[in-house]
Amino acid sequence: MHCAGQLPPSGGPPDSIPPEIAGTVPDTNAIHVEENRIQLEFSEYVDRRSVEESIFISPHVGDLEFDWSGTEVTVEFSEALRKNTTYVVNVGTDVVDIRANNRMAEGFTLAFSTGDSIDRGYISGRVFDEEPEGVMIFAYALDGADPDTLDPSALKPDYIMQTGKGGKFALSNIALGTYRLFAIRDEFRNLIYDREVDQYGVTHADVTVDAQRERISDIWFRLSQEDTSKPFLTRVDALDRYQLQVRFSEAIDSLSFERAAFHLSDTLIQKPIAIALSYLNRQTPMLAGLITATPLNNGSSYRLRADKIYDRAGNLIDSMNASYVFTGRGVPDTLRPTVSISSLADGQTGYPLERSLEITFSEPVDQEPLKEAIILVDSVEKHVETEMRWLNATDVVLFPEQPLMSKAWYEVRIILDSLRDRWGNGYIDSTFVLRFETLDLRTTGVIEGAVVDEQEQTGEGAVYISASSIDVKPKWEKTIRLESPGAFTMEQLVEGRYVIKGFRDADSSGSYSYGMPYPFVPAERFAVYTDTVKVRARWGIEGVLLKFK
């Protein structure tokens, strides 16, 4: 009675078929509709809650009441339909079936009219993101409205659609006119943009649908997240009698840190103490280091105030939380500075030929003696000519003046006798050595193509093109810059599949600008080569056309 294994039947192969809408009442594109209800029939049993949270109707029809019967649902509106109006019912891709939790592959649109005709406007496009499915597309009609006051965090959209497989979407049966579109990952499903919670995407321009162009395609979005929170000071620690470690609530912008101001004083007698040196930790940019001009007293209380500190989104430090009281330490610094090279381990192979070497010291060091103490040599002990450029008090970059040789061993050497911190702590008769082998060009390929801008006369900014691997570990990425559209060549790419994309740097920032929802700032124009490119060793891939539409 109990010897057999008790298991449920297998039930056949797994269900991988997404649910679909098999029928509607009224039919799509129906006219003279009077009843304030619709009926949807699904191809299989679906999760009812996922359906009820995925139905969006434009214009607004009041509260919705759902009446289920098997795979059918009747949706009744609390408000009567308007005369001579086209209504658009969108069913989003969050609908899932009961058996295997399969999502709808693409959104569904039911359009009907209470008048003699139905609107024919159509806008389609795509969201490019690591998770592009399920993003809401909000469309706001601008005709008769002030576009400068349009705030998606306070106003619900006129038309709504949800992206399906691959991030694709289509807004159909919309009225002719000009629209402002947003891509919103609507976390709260409240049909408004919640700043710092929802990811957003904006277009580079508003979209007009008129009698000459009823169908607009290729409206593309890239998603970002708004950061309006001000950084603040969270902690200050005295490491010894001269050195302080300052911690902020988030990463600080390294470019603007040069203008940062710190004010230190004794809390008892209010005596100011000069700061001799400040630097940002490039490896952990929420940390900064300070060195005082005079020693601090052990056990004394001090107050540090920070000013002109910005985060990477450009937010100025919160003035209400820009100071911190800490206790001084009167101990001397007896630790020797240590050294590391970012993104490079001893014995590493496949190092890119054109990449520089960034050397980081654990604390500020005397830079002058290191000019002759940091060297790069090849496998036959020949010195490689380099340019040394200090980024701050602890980080220096080594730029080879000529590209390194393919599949060759090199050594970075630092004569540690010349390495001293500001208090003389250092080494005797010691050398730091790190060996690495460069990339074998025989294992790489080339991508050749061209950039075309359909707005050749009005397109602005240099073109940045990047190739990012999707099946190579660690990830391999290369970026090149063109002054204007034209032919391009990307070399030294390891074997694998790559995504090719680019943008026009209209603001000359050197990085892609996502724009802002409100006050509205358009995004920079970007292009994506829709197919992945397979790079093979010793082969060249030709004919890659990157088009700015």
Q: Which helix H or strand E contains 434, and what residues bound it?
A: strand 431-438
pLDDT at position 60, please? 85
Residues 36 and 177 placed together within one structural domain of the fold: yes
**343 within a domain of the structure (yes/no):** yes
Q: What pLDDT digit, counting tens, does each position of 179-208 carry?
A: 999 999 999 999 999 999 999 999 999 999
Q: How many domains does the chain have?
A: 4
Band of residue 456 on the pLDDT scale cut at 50, 70, 90: confident
Q: Which domain holds residue 97?
A: 21-225
pLDDT at position 12, please? 66
**151 within a domain of the structure (yes/no):** yes
Q: What pLDDT digit, counting tens, does each position of 105-143 carry?
A: 999 999 999 999 999 999 999 999 999 999 999 999 999
**12 within a domain of the structure (yes/no):** no
Angle 243-249-252 (CA atoms, 0-180°, nearest 5)? 75
- Tokens encoding 293: 């001009």
Residues 418 and 448 placed together within one structural domain of the fold: no
Band of residue 458 on the pLDDT scale cut at 50, 70, 90: confident
Residues 62 and 180 placed together within one structural domain of the fold: yes
pLDDT at position 451, please? 97
pTM of the predicted protein model = 0.86
Q: 3-class SS at 275? A: strand
pLDDT at position 337, please? 96
375: left (phi over 0), alpha (psi -120 to 50) or beta: beta
Residues 62 and 203 placed together within one structural domain of the fold: yes
Which residue, of 225, 259, 289, is where some domain finishes? 225
Give yes or no for residue 1 having a pLDDT over 60.
no
Residues 39 and 139 placed together within one structural domain of the fold: yes
Average pLDDT for 464-479: 93
Residues 343 and 302 placed together within one structural domain of the fold: no
Residues 28 and 175 placed together within one structural domain of the fold: yes
Average pLDDT for 221-227: 96
Band of residue 352 on the pLDDT scale cut at 50, 70, 90: very high
Average pLDDT for 518-529: 96
Q: Using CB atoms within 10 A of its CB, is residue 264 exposed (0-12), middle (13-18) or buried (19+)?
A: buried
Q: What pLDDT digit, counting tens, does each position of 238-251 carry?
A: 999 999 999 999 99
Q: What pLDDT digit, counting tens, does each position of 167-186 carry?
A: 999 999 999 999 999 999 99
CA–CA gap between residue 266 and residue 264 (Å, rounded):
7
CA–CA distances in Å: residue 360 to residues 225, 280, 356, 374: 31, 12, 13, 12
Give yes or no for residue 473 having a pLDDT over 90.
no
Band of residue 457 on the pLDDT scale cut at 50, 70, 90: confident
Average pLDDT for 79-103: 93
User: CATH no. for residue 62?
Assistant: 2.60.40.3710
Q: 3-class SS at 58? A: strand
The string of DSSP codes covering 118-165 is ---EEEEEEEESSS-TT-EEEEEE-TTS-GGG--TTTS--SEEEE--G
The string of DSSP codes covering 306-331 is EES-BBTT-PBP-GGG-EEEEE---P
**85 within a domain of the structure (yes/no):** yes
Average pLDDT of the chain, as a whole number = 94
Question: What is the CA 370 to chain-centroid distance, rounded?
Answer: 38
Residues 208 and 61 placed together within one structural domain of the fold: yes
Residues 312 and 382 placed together within one structural domain of the fold: no
The 3-state secondary structure of 336-349 reads CCCEEECCCCCCEE
